Structure 1
Amino acid sequence: MLRVGIAGASGRMGRMLIEAVQATDDCTLGGALDIATSPAVGMDATAWMGHRSGVLIESDLAKGLANAQYLIDFTRPEGTMEHLRHCRDNGIKLVIGTTGFSDAQKAEIEAAARDIAIVMAPNMAVGVNVVFNLLRHAAKALNTGFDIEIIEAHHRHKVDAPSGTALRMGEVVAETLGRDLKECAIYGREGVTGERDPSTIGFATVRGGDIVGDHTVLFAGTGERIEITHKSSSRATYAQGSLRAVRFLSHQPHGLFGMDDVLGLK
């Protein structure tokens, strides 16, 4: 059995991950973490499901991960970096679904991957990662005469924008076209903006309600448009993809991987 720890155990994603672990035949709950101010700290991690797992939600990393071989983390950059250091020191493999990292934080994750195996992806959903692959083919074929816009929508509680998934879509398209997203991305338009620069990639962000996650990449040409869209209706897709990542890591001693590695899309 793969002993899996869950960060942010009392949050929406954390509970979905715990439920997914409990439903498998090859994984077991090996630990549960949450911030010290969470009222769930000290409670059984599956109490909300109506039964006890024997695993308590802890704010202390040493206690919370004492029995874990893997940690799945969908929290925030500051918390994930603290978890990363503990995992590196203790040989715990890591699945990172957190987004919004700085370049320096990404570099630290890459350095840690020399010692432990890490899967890091802005979106763990299998379908989204298939879309990344489709975008490479689309961008290669539609490299002239098409304007590219990325539209994403998420729930009102999401704190970063554009989403990590939208940014990764932009990176995939830009890399395929031989561009640097940092130089060609446009994150907002207001007022008299002038004619659109055809070398740019535009982003539009929507926040509201309980939208789990919608992403569309629009290739707009003359007389035709192509839209590649992925819509998530449940966080269960992220949970199932995360468990596939855990199983993949069980065969990796160290290294930094993406979901394209997990799914064999490279």
Structure 2
Amino acid sequence: PGSNIHFQVNDCTGKVGQAVAEAAVAAGLRLVPLSLTGPGRGGKRVVIGNVEVDVREVSEREDVVKEVITEYPNVIVVDYTLPAAVNDNAEFYCKHGLPFVMGTTGGDREKLLDVARKSGIYSIIAPQMGKQVVAFVAAMEIMAKQFPGAFSGYTLQVTESHQSTKADVSGTALAVISSLRKLGLDFKDEQVELVRDPKEQMTRMGVPEQYLNGHAFHTYKIMSPDGTVFFEFKHNVCGRSIYAQGTVDAVLFLSKKIQEKSEKRLYNMIDVLEGGRMR
């Protein structure tokens, strides 16, 4: 379905960016052979599927964008860069009228949404692109709204394991905890146990060795006051394919909205899920 959709990935030399580019090419989308990267990392070529991508430094972005808009007028930009670049990149895409999917986490999220909203540019902004994980997070929020206080008096333990380079608590875990609080569980964000030691990740969390540098394992344990009732919610992701596939769905969804000239311009992954276009 995507053979006439052009997309550009910034930065397709990063692990997630590369996975997204590969998944999108496999799904029949057309990859723009230009990508932007950070200072001092340009001047190389990356082969994705049958496309040779010219990787340029961010300092050349004005020239790159002129080239992209001229050659590929209906392009959608996918952003997997760095938290520090999120706001500046979004402003740049909006300034040039480029529809975009922002998969990069971090930055000033309120400002990001505000810039996108005011620009009227078609965009999808979501800190979590794995659509099945998004569905789980949304289900927890629905339960919290329907049955507030259902777990009052119960205790909560949250353990999450990510590659050792991830210093902060996962935004996904924080979203789930926020729903669990509404269900009556007394829990502070700083009580999350972060497992970052590779040995412990393998022995205790069950992370396969080949995924130590790319995984997201979350466990939420809920116990009744007397210890006789126990609930456990768990979502374990190895590698990056779930994010790559979710991003492809996001691009297809956004392309459809642009073609339909939809009045709504700013979307998130729950909109993509509700759109029901699952491949």
2:143 aligned with 1:154: no
Change in CA separation of 1:265 and 1:54 when aligned onto 2, cut-off 3 Å: closer
Deviations 1:148-192 (A, max 9, x none): 343221112224x11122222233444x5599xxxx76243xxxx
Q: Which amino acid aligns with 1:170?
A: I
CA distance in 1, matches of 2:122, 2:187: 31
Change in CA separation of 1:238 and 1:162 when aligned onto 2, cut-off 3 Å: same
**1:177-196 equivalences in 2 (<5 Å):** 177=183, 186-188=188-190
2:121 aligned with 1:123: no
CA distance in 2, matches of 1:265, 1:217: 29
2:152 aligned with 1:144: yes
Contact 2:84 2:106 in 1 (8 A): no
**Partner residue of 1:194?**
none
2:267 aligned with 1:260: no
2:67 aligned with 1:61: no
Q: Which amino acid aligns with 1:45?
A: V
Shift of 1:95: 1.4
CA distance in 2, matches of 1:178, 1:112: 35
Change in CA separation of 1:2 and 1:178 when aligned onto 2, cut-off 3 Å: farther
TM-score where L is the length of structure 1:
0.78
CA distance in 2, matches of 1:92, 1:30: 16
2:33 aligned with 1:44: no
Shift of 1:4: 1.2
**Aligned pair partner of 2:114 in 110, 117, 130:** 110
2:232 aligned with 1:227: yes
Shift of 1:30: 5.5
Contact 1:121 1:259 in 2 (8 A): yes
CA distance in 2, matches of 1:53, 1:138: 45
Shift of 1:265: 7.9
Contact 1:110 1:256 in 2 (8 A): no
Change in CA separation of 1:54 and 1:8 when aligned onto 2, cut-off 3 Å: closer
Contact 2:250 2:269 in 1 (8 A): yes
Contact 1:4 1:30 in 2 (8 A): no
Q: Which amino acid aligns with 2:51?
A: S
2:31 aligned with 1:28: yes
Shift of 1:137: 4.6
Change in CA separation of 1:19 and 1:249 when aligned onto 2, cut-off 3 Å: same
Alignment RMSD: 2.7
CA distance in 1, matches of 2:142, 2:157: 16
Q: Which amino acid aligns with 1:218?
A: K
Contact 1:61 1:86 in 2 (8 A): no
**Partner residue of 1:244?**
249
Structure 2 gaps of 5+ residues are 199-211
Which one has the bigger helix percentage? 2
Structure 1 gaps of 5+ residues are 189-201
Q: Which amino acid aligns with 1:111?
A: V
Q: Which amino acid aligns with 1:109?
A: L
TM-score where L is the length of structure 2:
0.75
Contact 1:22 1:29 in 2 (8 A): no
**Partner residue of 2:102?**
96
Q: Which amino acid aligns with 1:112?
A: A
CA distance in 2, matches of 1:173, 1:110: 28
Contact 1:74 1:97 in 2 (8 A): yes
Percent identity of the aligned residues? 23
